[in-house]
Structure 1
Amino acid sequence: MDKLAVIEATAPIGAQLIADLRLRIVTGALPPGTRLSEKEIATAYGMSRQPVREAFIKLAAERLVEIRPQRGTYVCKINLHEVAQSQFVREAVEADIARLAARAADPGWIETLQAQLRTQSQRVTQGGAVFVELDELFHQTLAAAADRSGVWAHIQPLKMHMDRVRYLTAEEFPLDHLVLQHQAIVDAVAAGDEDAAEASVRVHLRGVLDDLRKVAEMLPHCFDPLPD
């Protein structure tokens, strides 16, 4: 395991470890089913085993790892119910964000969003983490345009399970349609059409659920068993 790229001297090392392991799990750098060695992680991060043990407990509470007594700690497979719950929360929040952004229809923010769409179109073929990061920036900017940056920060831990699927689907499926969906959102915001902005966001975010069973069937090793 790679060592932390940056360790902030003023920040607790345990918190940084938790954040880094969480990011690796969500992005798929630590795939579902991976066994996590307390000793190896402690060595890689240059710390004692105690903060690693505490990190495992925290991540287990977030349902990202499973601690199996006498057998080890493993990255959880993706649970479809958790993804659906995560998507529900995000859609509810972002629907209102879109309405507020359309109500403001600020030309400066709209130009920023349009510039991001141009970058997305240029990089869509790169797929994977590159596009997910651009998508994340787009939604963060939309929240800022609605003067709800604090809300966006608040929902980050609530959408982790949905994000795990987003990284998987970005590797497995074409992404051009996501740029078109983003364009529909921006067009509605620019027009000051609150209803259309909300509807466009809902269509966009429900796409994860549309792809969910398909990707789960393609990558069964990454998911808890599908219900009959």
Structure 2
Amino acid sequence: MDISLRLRDPIAPQLVAALRQAIIVSEIRPGEALSEKEIAGRFGVSRQPVREAFIKLSEAGLVQILPSRGTFVMKISMREVANARFVREAVECSLARAASRLINPDGVARLRRLIAEQAAAAGRGDYSGFTVLDEAFHQAIAEIVDCDYAGKVVESARAQTDRVRYLSLPGTSPIPLLITQHNAIVDAIETGDSDMAATAMRIHLREILNALPRIAAEHPDLFADEELPAHTRALRQP
């Protein structure tokens, strides 16, 4: 958990961000116990903001707080990942449509810059950095549309999907493919083609459906033993 806390900012949200990223990149493994004392000592804070961070992570479905037993990182739920992807598709395809009507040259330049930074991170083998830049790309589209609530919904859903996304890198979901998909989204948004923007976003967000079963089979210790929900099984039918 390599993060420095900024003293001028609220501590608990910074702890949430640090712990969330550590869970997403499997630095803190599913099933692992989280110690209030250890984390408070590591960041040089009291236990109160650590407790607040645990509650937020619990609400995001990343940790489980068991009274008198402790706090544990939850195993990855295939069902929750699939449900989160379903919500992301509904919201982000609409965002892509709206962005195609509202985009300006500055917005295009920002999205292109983020894609270039993703490619640079991939070139360094910095997969954790790539996931951060991937999140920034999707949040930038929400900001172009000027819909804060949609951005928060996407951020919340990513807590589940990003765990699988990170495990899929660089093999099951090759980064060049993801970058190509990002470019296709921006190309459609830039030309004002709302239908193509939504389609490009849908293709991109469904990529995880190809990775999910394989990743679960490769890392059975990290996943809860659950079936995919009906809406996802239907998508995977030939």
TM range (shorter): 0.7 to 0.9
Q: Quote the offset at 1:192 in angstroms.
A: 1.3
**Which has the larger displacement, 116-125 or 167-176?**
116-125
Rounded Cα–Cα distance in structure 2 between residues aligned with 1:56 and 1:122: 33
- Aligned with residue 111 of structure 2, among 113, 123, 127: 113
Match of 1:223 in 2: 223
Match of 1:190 in 2: 190
Rounded Cα–Cα distance in structure 2 between residues aligned with 1:5 and 1:208: 31
Residue 127 of structure 2 aligns with an amino acid whose one-letter code is: G
Taking the TM superposition and a 5 Å limit, the aligned residue runs for 1:22-101 are 22-69=20-67, 71-101=69-99
Rounded Cα–Cα distance in structure 2 between residues aligned with 1:190 and 1:61: 36
Match of 1:5 in 2: 4
CA contact (8 A) 1:78 1:164 kept: yes
Residue 206 of structure 1 aligns with an amino acid whose one-letter code is: R
TM-score between both structures, scaled by the size of structure 1: 0.84
CA contact (8 A) 1:117 1:179 kept: yes
CA contact (8 A) 1:127 1:175 kept: no
Match of 2:159 in 1: 160
Q: 1:94 to 1:70 in 2, by over 3 A?
A: same
Taking the TM superposition and a 5 Å limit, the aligned residue runs for 1:108-147 are 108-125=106-123, 126-147=125-146
Identity %: 42
Q: 1:146 to 1:60 in 2, by over 3 A?
A: closer
Residue 213 of structure 2 aligns with an amino acid whose one-letter code is: R
Rounded Cα–Cα distance in structure 1 between residues aligned with 2:178 and 2:191: 20
Residue 221 of structure 2 aligns with an amino acid whose one-letter code is: H
Q: Does 1:201 align with 2:204?
A: no
**Which has the larger displacement, 200-209 or 35-44?**
35-44
**Which has the larger displacement, 99-108 or 113-122?**
113-122
Q: 1:200 to 1:8 in 2, by over 3 A?
A: same
CA contact (8 A) 1:105 1:191 kept: no
CA contact (8 A) 1:14 1:51 kept: yes
Q: 1:52 to 1:150 in 2, by over 3 A?
A: closer
Q: Quote the offset at 1:141 in angstroms.
A: 2.2
Partner of 1:215, secondary structure, is: helix
CA contact (8 A) 1:102 1:191 kept: yes
Partner of 1:5, secondary structure, is: coil
Residue 89 of structure 1 aligns with an amino acid whose one-letter code is: V
Q: Quote the offset at 1:134 in angstroms.
A: 2.2
RMSD: 2.7
CA contact (8 A) 2:165 2:208 kept: yes
CA contact (8 A) 1:129 1:170 kept: no
Q: Quote the offset at 1:62 in angstroms.
A: 3.1
**Which has the larger displacement, 38-47 or 71-80?**
38-47
CA contact (8 A) 2:188 2:196 kept: yes
Rounded Cα–Cα distance in structure 1 between residues aligned with 2:60 and 2:119: 34
